[in-house]
Structure 1
Amino acid sequence: MGDHPIFDVLGSWPGRVPTQRAFEARGFLIPAAWQNRMIEFCGASQADLLNRYWDEVAMETMRSIGKVHSDLRRFLIEPRYRSAFLDDLFARRDFADPAVPNGPLIKGLLDHFKRAWSDREFRDKDIAFRKELQKRECTRLGIQTTGWTGKKRGIIPFVDEFCVALAFKRRRNRWHKNLGCGLIFEVGLDLGGDPQRVGAPLVFRIFHESDPECVFEMGGNEAFDRLICGSRLYWASVDPDECILGIRAYIELFDAIAASFGASQQA
């Protein structure tokens, strides 16, 4: 993609573990619990392998502004960082399943995905596990549902409250935080589609102040989950308190990522 300043700054990202610890310090514990569940499923002897895998996927995702499919070893841009560890896993993989062409490079994770897809009882246990985590986190963080309408535009006051509390500056329906390193973190909304359904309207963008056209854009939960495995569970909900928890969690995680690059500029 040529010489864009965002890549130089993203090269200083400290990685998944410090960012996740900062997120946990804010009270968000679901990703760690899910990672532990995956380690338990795969076997404790696989813990180091899994953590290295999650670390490397996260680093490739960040430094390629999300334009990479790490499990397929497919980069949509010329990478500034390419993991030799993931290259080796891909080369040695002997368990590929044509039914899951985008499957993970760790056999245990693929086995979990396939079993959750085919075994309803197993899948229901995963869902119950996630619901219990969400319930506990809603209680611990004091999530309030007052004012919730269940409609897409109804989330705006909640997004504004959570962003302003983290010192994002609002401009219409976008909230910005400018960092001293030149990065701008922006929270936006996609209010298209069915107005009666909340869906996944949050859009997160990272770009450099001198080059706003080169953007790391994150919509939905896929990119966040590649940065912090298990964070996708925050959007797997329909109950109002869990939806609000998800909105807050993604905004807080986005801010934790911003904080990992250093202080914001003073207003």
Structure 2
Amino acid sequence: MRKARKRRPLYGAAPISEENLSLAIEHVGPIFRQTYGLTEARQPIAILDPWDHVVDGTPGERKRLASCGRVAAGVVLELLDDDDRPVATGEMGEICVRGDYAMASYWRNPEATAETMRNGWVHTGDLAVADGEGYLYIVDRKKEMIITGGFNVYPSEVERALCRHPAVLEALVIGVPDEKWGEAVKAMVVLRPGESPEPSDIIAFTEKEIAGYKKPKQVEFLNEIPKNTQGKVQRRDIREKHWAGRTRKVN
């Protein structure tokens, strides 16, 4: 008699919202494994194992589901500031790695190599915070940060706030040109079936969740968020459409 094999669904490429992941665990149990990696390294950088998906429902336990796990065995990783200095626990820094598993250079692209490889580190462009237990929480892509009225806004924080609205299934946030603020926060939202809130309802909800300067100035409803074949959101392509005809991609 053959023994049944346990299935271990693997997810990655882009974060799953804490709410959707919790729902999946309720349905099939804590059988998932998440890996965080990048093309420039040939092994996973961080792993959220199945036992990390066992949560008791308290905010502290549920928060772990929003992480990308702990640093994988054999990986040398630091969160560095803009001067390539390590940040303290709980402070935000760029995920940087080095080691034999990391790339030496980009093929025939010295400019990109110089930008990514600095002081012996591969700079991933991902901004993250590490907690006291070593779990990494990716805040955003460094290049996707929105600067509105001189304030920094990270799209993923606004997207998480939007997804806490009961009518919102999925959300994407970008910075668009604004004559007064330089950039304005724009949200593109996919609604749950049967829901029909007004854009003003969505904006008012976010005011209770995040600082006022982070709330969307515009809300557009979509049938779906454009993604590539790997399930990654095509944020850059969407943003480009709003900045078309401008020589600078900041304002």
* More helix, by proportion: 1
TM-score by length of structure 2 reads 0.26
TM-score by length of structure 1 reads 0.25
